[in-house]
Amino acid sequence: MDTISYLRSRKAIQLKFSLQTGRSVSYIIDRANYVEDGRKFFHGNVKISNFLGCSIPGRPNLKVLSEEDLLEYPISILRSVSKAIFDLECLVESDFFNIYNLVKNKHSTTILEKIFLSVDFKDSFWSKVTKFELLELLDEYSYWVDWIVYLEFVKVEICSAKIMLEELNRPLFKQLRNFSCFVESGWDKDEKVFKSILSDIDFTKGDFLVEWLENFDKTNIHYNILSRREYNSLYSWFLLTLIYISRNYKSNVWGTAKQWKRKGYVLKENAKPAAVFHNFLSKDKINPETNEFESGFYGKKTSIVYNSEEVLSFDGMKYGDNKVAKFEKIDDRLSELCVEVLESNSAYYDIDEDVIYMPEKRFFIKENSTASYYSTLLHEVIHWTGSDIRCNRNIRNDFGSDSYALEELVAELGANFLSSRFGFRKKVSKNSIRYIISWLSGLNKEQWLDSLEEAAVLANKASNFVMYK
C-alpha cells in the first residue's frame, strides 16, 4: 500500500500527497508515469518515500513540505482538495468531521460504498475509497483547517469542506498565489514572548553551548503534534533544541495551544511557551518586461508552541501509530552480534558501557521513518565496531578534532555501505550526503579526498565485521 503502483491507482492517496507536497494531482501522476528512453522511470514496486526523494532530470524534486514551507503553499492546491472533499460531503450529506467519526471504527480495507449503504455514489471515485485511505486524507486535511484558523486567515469556524471552499473562493484569496501574501509580520505582537523565552534559557553557564555542541547528534529533531512535520528551519530548530536542553525535556513533540486542544489535551497551568518562525519572501510584483515575479520583502510569522511535557496527561502514545517497520535482516544480525540497543533521547554509542542508545521508534514519524531509523541505527553500529575489542579504531577523540571528524565520516559511510548490503537502501540519501559534507567542512579542503579514502577503507572494514564476523 505504499508503492508507486498504489499511488497511481488510488485518488484519495493522490489528494493526500497533493496536500503534503503543494503539487497538483496531475503533476504527481505525470511524475509517477515519467517515461525515459521508452520505459517508465519508476517501477510500480518503488516505495512512495523513495519516489518523493528521487530526482528526475530537468524537473524539480518532490518533497513533503515542512512547517517552515507552509506560507509558500499554493492556495489553489488546498482549494482543489477542498472541492473533492466537499463532493464527498454532498454525497454522504454530512461534514467531513462527522464522516471521519462514522468510518473510524470500520475495518481499514472496507470501501465507502460498503459503509454508506444508502448513498448513491454514482460514478464517483469515492465509492471505492477505503477507510484507511479516507482517514489518511482527512487527517492531513484537518491539519490544514487548524493551521488556517490558528494563523487567523479566516474569521469563521471551519467545520466543513464546504465552508473552507467558500472562504478560499472569496475575492481576497482568489487574487493570492500563496498564504505568505496574506500574512503580516506580527513580530511586534510576539517579540515580548520571544524575549521571555530567551531569558528562560540558562546561558549563564560558560560551558553551556560547548556542552550542547559536544553532545549534539543529527537525530535531535522536533515535530509538530498535528502535522507530524519536522521544524527544520535553522532558527526554529536551534531555538527548540536550546529550550529542549535547558528545560530538560524528554519529548521532541510540540504544538500550539489550539493544536493541543484539537487533539483533546489541556495545557498545564503556567505552561512555558516556545517559538517557531515561518519566514517567507513576498513575491507580489511582476516585471512586465520579463513576466517574472520580482523579490518583494521578507516577512516573519511567529507561532507560539508548547512541548508535550507542558500538556496534561499526554504520554505520547496517542501521537500516532509507530511508522517504523521492522527490518528483520538487520534486527536478526544485530541480535547475532549481541549488540545492546537501549532507548534514550538521542542516538549515540557509549564506549564505556558498550551500548548503543537510540530514540524511541515513535519519534521517527516522517514519511521515510523506517529508513531514517535504521540509517541512524547503522551509523551507531559502525561506531560500535570501533571499540578495541572489535576493529580498534581508537574512537575516544575530542570533539572538533580531525580524528573526531574522521570517525564520523567512517560511521556515515559505513552506514551507507551496510544499508546497501542489507538491501535496505540502494541510493545514498541527501541527508547522509549533507552530514558527510558537514564533517568534511571541518577539514582542510586539500585533505578531503585523502580523508574520504581513509574513511572508506575503515568503513569497509567495519562493514565487513558486521556482515561476516
Same domain, 293 and 363: no
Where does a domain end: 150, 181, 212? 181
Is residue 318 situated within a structural domain? Answer: no
Taking residues 418-433, what's their average pLDDT? 66
* Between residues 220 and 404, the one the model is more confident about: 404
Amino acid at 368: N
> Residues 13-57: pLDDT tens digits?
999 999 988 889 998 998 888 888 888 888 888 888 778 777 777
- Contact in structure between 314 and 349 (CB atoms under 8 Å): no
* Between residues 321 and 255, the one the model is more confident about: 255
Same domain, 31 and 170: yes
Residue whose C-alpha is closest to residue 367's, from 220, 230, 218: 230
Residue whose C-alpha is closest to residue 331's, from 422, 463, 420, 413: 422
DSSP helix/strand/coil, 417: helix
Residue whose C-alpha is closest to residue 360's, from 285, 250, 200, 227: 250
* Between residues 265 and 417, the one the model is more confident about: 265
Same domain, 117 and 229: no
Is residue 315 situated within a structural domain? Answer: no
At 14 the pLDDT is: 93
At 317 the pLDDT is: 42
The cell for 285 is 510584483
**Percent of the chain scoring above 90 in pLDDT:** 25
DSSP helix/strand/coil, 148: helix
Same domain, 14 and 145: yes
- The winner for highest mean pLDDT among 11-25, 139-153, 222-236, 365-379 is 11-25
The cell for 129 is 475509497
**What does the angle CA 238 – CA 239 – CA 240 come to, to the nearest 5 degrees?**
95
Is residue 161 situated within a structural domain? Answer: yes
- Contact in structure between 194 and 310 (CB atoms under 8 Å): no
Using CA atoms, how far apart are residues 218 and 221, in angstroms rounded to an integer?
A: 7
At 199 the pLDDT is: 52
Please classify residue 149 by burial: count the beta carbons closer than 10 Å to its beta carbon, then call 0-12 exposed, 13-18 middle and 19+ buried. middle
Is residue 319 situated within a structural domain? Answer: no
Using CA atoms, how far apart are residues 404 and 394, in angstroms rounded to an integer?
A: 10
At 383 the pLDDT is: 94
- Contact in structure between 221 and 276 (CB atoms under 8 Å): no
Name the residue with cell 475509497. 129
Where does a domain end: 157, 181, 205? 181
Same domain, 425 and 297: no
Residue 211 has pLDDT above 60, yes or no: no
Same domain, 146 and 263: no
Residue 292: phi and psi, rounded to 5, are -120, 155
Same domain, 352 and 368: yes
Same domain, 107 and 167: yes
E strand spans, 113-213: none
Residue 284 has pLDDT above 50, yes or no: no
Is residue 78 situated within a structural domain? Answer: yes
Same domain, 424 and 279: no
> Residues 166-185: pLDDT tens digits?
988 886 676 667 776 555 43
Is residue 322 situated within a structural domain? Answer: no
Q: Alpha-carbon dihedral of residues 444, 448, 450, 455, nearest 10 degrees?
A: 110
Residue 429 has pLDDT above 60, yes or no: no
At 192 the pLDDT is: 47
E strand spans, 313-406: 341-343, 348-350, 355-358
Using pLDDT thresholds of 50, 70 and 90, give the confidence band for residue 205. Answer: very low
How does strand 298-307 pair with strand 355-358? unpaired
Where does a domain end: 259, 279, 310? 310
Taking residues 265-285, what's their average pLDDT? 73
- The winner for highest mean pLDDT among 254-268, 293-307, 318-332 is 254-268
> Residues 130-145: pLDDT tens digits?
999 999 999 999 888 8
Is residue 448 situated within a structural domain? Answer: yes
At 432 the pLDDT is: 56
- The winner for highest mean pLDDT among 10-24, 178-192, 316-330, 425-439 is 10-24
The cell for 284 is 507580489
DSSP helix/strand/coil, 172: helix
Same domain, 79 and 41: yes
**Average pLDDT score, the chain:** 77
Task: Find the DSSP H helices in 61-130.
Answer: 75-92, 96-103, 112-115
The cell for 466 is 558486521
* Between residues 345 and 158, the one the model is more confident about: 158
Residue 402 has pLDDT above 50, yes or no: yes
Same domain, 172 and 27: yes
Same domain, 32 and 68: yes
Using CA atoms, how far apart are residues 258 and 306, in angstroms rounded to an integer?
A: 10
Task: Residue count of the chain, please give it.
Answer: 469
- Total of domains in the chain: 3
Using pLDDT thresholds of 50, 70 and 90, give the confidence band for residue 455. Answer: confident
Amino acid at 98: N
Structural domain boundaries enclosing 265: 187-310
Is residue 39 situated within a structural domain? Answer: yes
Using pLDDT thresholds of 50, 70 and 90, give the confidence band for residue 99. Answer: very high
At 202 the pLDDT is: 47
* Between residues 191 and 362, the one the model is more confident about: 362
At 293 the pLDDT is: 45
